[in-house]
Structure 1
Amino acid sequence: MAETDETRDDEETTDVAVQEPTAEASDEDQPLDLKVDIEKPSACERHVSVTVSRADIDRYLDDAYSAMMPNAAVPGFRAGRAPRKLVEQRFKTEVVDQVKGSLLMDSLTQISKEGSFAAISEPDLNLEAVELPDDGPLTFEFDIEVRPDFDLPKWKGLKLKQPKHEFTDEDIDSNLKQTLGRYGQLVPHDGAAAEDDYITANVTCKADGKVVSEDEELVLRIRENLSFTDARLEGFAKLMTGAKSGEKKNATVTVGPNAPNEELRGKDVEVEFEVVEIKKLKLPELTEDFLQEIGNFESEGALREAVKQNLERQLEYAQQQQARGQITELLTESATWDLPPGLLKRQNARELERAIMELRRSGFSESEIRARENTLRQNSAESTAKALKEHFILERIAEDEGIDVEDGDFEKEIFLMSMQSGESPRRVRAQLEKRGLMDVLRNQIVERKVMEAVQAEANFTEEPYNATKDDTEAVQLAVGGRGAEIPQAVDKQEEEAAAEE
């Protein structure tokens, strides 16, 4: 278990530093005489009550005072010459705090090593409530989240389906157009809007006539569907086709069950699009300078080969995801244990980050990632629960098979992500480290290796690959607002009346 700031004591008094006992003095190899009672509120929760014997408390106190004696400074005595009883009286508070911290830390370490459970969080321990008694044993208790105990399902010999596809020139042409679109220029258009055009729009969202969310001059590509962070508008292209500058278009969407604004979950919201401007995308010409600028390509043929490789990476991603989905269903059939709500809530963001990193290393564009990200957000509770159960099972397989991260694994993953983002591997790594995501990346690598091991033992049946159609535009706007995180919704008429006053 990780050492916490609360369980360390490095304080100094003006008279003497309270030193940690040496290995000889503390006899640290001698285990504590602990009585540990473990209750199981749920599969992933443990309530632990610990009793430390009086003999261990006295031993730790004796070690602490013995380590202090050679340097203890007591008024009226030379350093190290004061009687032990005076030293004990003068430094009792400091030593008791030090010993309490040491006993708690060593107790937690010993419980962890004894393997009664596999912790997945820090213990919820109220240090201030723990007191070292003058007589009798020390008792304390804590709650902790743990990996559930379960029988590992049979994972060798699974029957799986795998998509196969040979990419054609038509596939490459279509994807090349999407790739060039990232470098295109939006030019104003005077006529009516058509599918794949872009509109600049002011978006206003109302619930029961009150504005709950709005944004100005959003640039939206007209695609079949529009994905908000908490809702999805089907038929967006049909709604906007034929629209002209200055016109308003309205639609109704239903706020998702995992929306940030809990009050509007499952309710309808009216969305108004005020079209400010219509634009068309002008693709760049494949000049020698442009080819060099976007990737040092020597020719259009080299660019097309890179596009083909990217398509193959996306096919590999689809193969992995389909296999993973099948494996997850098969392995988690018997995983009927419940997960603590607090664990699920904390894990939501981590699971989203993991999924986004997987998409980046597989070469998906930022617009595709945003669309999938919104979908993941809207189904976060269900997907996170399944992903956590899958993680516990894959973790067990990794331990049994000795699967772990090797030298170069991190560099390979970071390089693939840097290719998608266009940033240097060093910058991508620095961003991951700054956001504390290196452990997420490690889990991703280990889980992929386990999946490869499972697939190596599986029996596959090939089937045609149907690539996911890129028909969704994504926008980082919550139609239902963010509840307490945003200003209170105000009716437009009330807003105008207040302004007049």
Structure 2
Amino acid sequence: MTQVPPSTERKLEVKEVGPCKHEIKVEIPPAEIATRLEERYRELNNAVTLPGFRRGHAPRRVLEKRFGAEVANEIKVALIGDALREVRDKHDLQPMDDPEVDLEKIALAEGSSCALSFTVEVRPKITFDGYKGIPAKKPVATVADAEVEEALGKLREAKAELVVAPDGRVAENDQVVGDLNATADGAPIQQTPEATFFVHGRMTVFGLPAPDLARALIGRRAGDTVTVPITFPKEHTDPQVAGKTVQLAVTIKEVKRKVLPELTEAWAQELGFDGLAALRARIRERIQQEKELEAKQRAQAEILAEIRRRAQVTLPAGVLERESLRVLRRWAMDMYFQGVPEEEIEKRIVEQQAASKDSVAEAMQNAFLIEHIAGKEKIFVTEGEVEERIAQLAARVARDPQEVKRYLEKNDQLPDLRRKLREEKVLAFLLQNAALS
């Protein structure tokens, strides 16, 4: 539908009725209503064919009888859209959601004016400019020799070779291949042939820590069957085992042991380094980078928290409530598909409702403040920066950058990527302009 320019007789009244909430009243004169109706019925007449009439030659009264309610609602929606645009353009307000309007209660008829009345929640107006010179701890990161050796040990673990245990007996950290059979009250719950798992004190069964299982397995050999009772609490998330004592039988079929590579110059060279010194240096560099990033992020979070405290941004209550509810619903759905009983889901939702709302409020305030600072300081993201980040993402997953870009475009994720990049630039600006000590 072609937009009709608002008549000079149109009356628009905007009144603040609460924090981030405005009441909008609009009166559209009869002449504009008549023009819109005439135009829409003309478009409709040229688009549809009614029995007994050639296209474009149906009398308007016939069209009104067939399409009257639909046309009226289309025009009402267009009038509301016009009003919102006028609110944005002339009153510098940015509605955050479409208003909830009962179209059936709006009277619209040719020869009469049309009155609209609705409320909208708008983005908060932020005038706070004291975001420079915020005190924060200077990001500092140091790497101890012990951290390097610990990381080197984990690397050896990752590169370990699994061989059949020479003595055939299970030891701590051995890998066991065995048949699992879980029963409760004599009824089978789960059978897993040739399951593979490592034996250690942090083992879990159905998500419950089971140190007794590790103790029972250690010292046994292939061919042995070990049965361990495991009692699950009533509130356990899996209804199969909640409140029951499960008998878990493990028949050992094979025991394998990790053989770590020896810490030699030759091994370091196999990994592509000149020697152990170069390998340790690379590990130290990686840990240093990780700790520097963590320290920087902590400082940025500290600065942003202080800006939130000082700025005291008032949020649109309805938007906050809906977003909090959306987060809780998504969490509830995740729990449901994980097998959590509905009563337990309801209990957790009630317990986390306040914390969830606080978390959402903090995220919304951060977003508004970052956007405000970006605007004030003219911090933008260039297409070159977007392309560079896409190339980095592509390298992580060994994909072609253009393939990754097409994926982001297809899933409408490029705007999110740009927002993320701008957020990073704003946080870097705040850290650069902070009073670090």
Distance 1:36 1:65, change over 3 A: farther
5 Å-filtered alignment, 1:190-229, equals: 191-192=169-170, 194=172
5 Å-filtered alignment, 1:240-259, equals: 242-244=215-217, 246=226, 248=228
Distance 1:70 1:417, change over 3 A: closer
Among 317, 324, 337, the residue aligned to 1:344: 324
Paired residue secondary structure (1:165): coil
5 Å-filtered alignment, 1:111-190, equals: 111-115=87-91, 117-125=93-101, 132-134=108-110, 136-140=112-116, 146-152=122-128, 154-167=130-143, 171-178=147-154
Paired residues of 2:141 and 2:295 also in contact (CA < 8 A): no
Equivalent residue, structure 2, for 1:445? 421
Among 435, 458, 463, the residue aligned to 2:434: 458
> How many angstroms does 1:162 deviate by?
2.9
- Tell which structure's C-alpha radius of gyration is larger: 2
Paired residue secondary structure (2:138): strand
Paired residues of 2:328 and 2:356 also in contact (CA < 8 A): yes
> How many angstroms does 1:382 deviate by?
4.7
Are 1:328 and 2:304 counterparts? yes
Paired residues of 1:33 and 1:53 also in contact (CA < 8 A): yes
Among 20, 29, 41, the residue aligned to 1:54: 29
5 Å-filtered alignment, 1:273-284, equals: 274=248, 276=250
How high is the TM-score relative to the length of structure 2?
0.62
> How many angstroms does 1:91 deviate by?
3.5
> How many angstroms does 1:456 deviate by?
1.1
Deviations 1:381-425 (A, max 9, x none): 554432222222222211222222222333333444445555554
Distance 1:130 1:320, change over 3 A: farther
Paired residue secondary structure (2:26): strand
Inter-partner Cα distance in structure 2 for 1:220 and 1:184? 14
> How many angstroms does 1:141 deviate by?
5.5
Paired residues of 1:405 and 1:446 also in contact (CA < 8 A): yes
Report the count of equivalent residues: 384
Matched residue type, 1:343: E
Inter-partner Cα distance in structure 2 for 1:101 and 1:48? 17
Distance 1:73 1:428, change over 3 A: closer
Equivalent residue, structure 1, for 2:379? 403
Among 23, 33, 45, the residue aligned to 2:11: 33
> How many angstroms does 1:450 deviate by?
1.0
> How many angstroms does 1:448 deviate by?
1.3
Q: Which has the higher contact order (CA 8 A, sep 6+)?
A: 1
Identity of aligned residues (%): 21
> How many angstroms does 1:439 deviate by?
3.5
Matched residue type, 2:26: T
How high is the TM-score relative to the length of structure 1?
0.56
> How many angstroms does 1:427 deviate by?
5.4
Matched residue type, 1:344: S
Inter-partner Cα distance in structure 1 for 2:105 and 2:197? 55
Structure 1 unmatched runs, 5+ = 1-19, 262-267, 292-296, 352-375, 462-501
Among 395, 413, 428, the residue aligned to 2:389: 413
Inter-partner Cα distance in structure 1 for 2:281 and 2:145? 10
Are 1:387 and 2:363 counterparts? yes
Inter-partner Cα distance in structure 2 for 1:436 and 1:48? 33
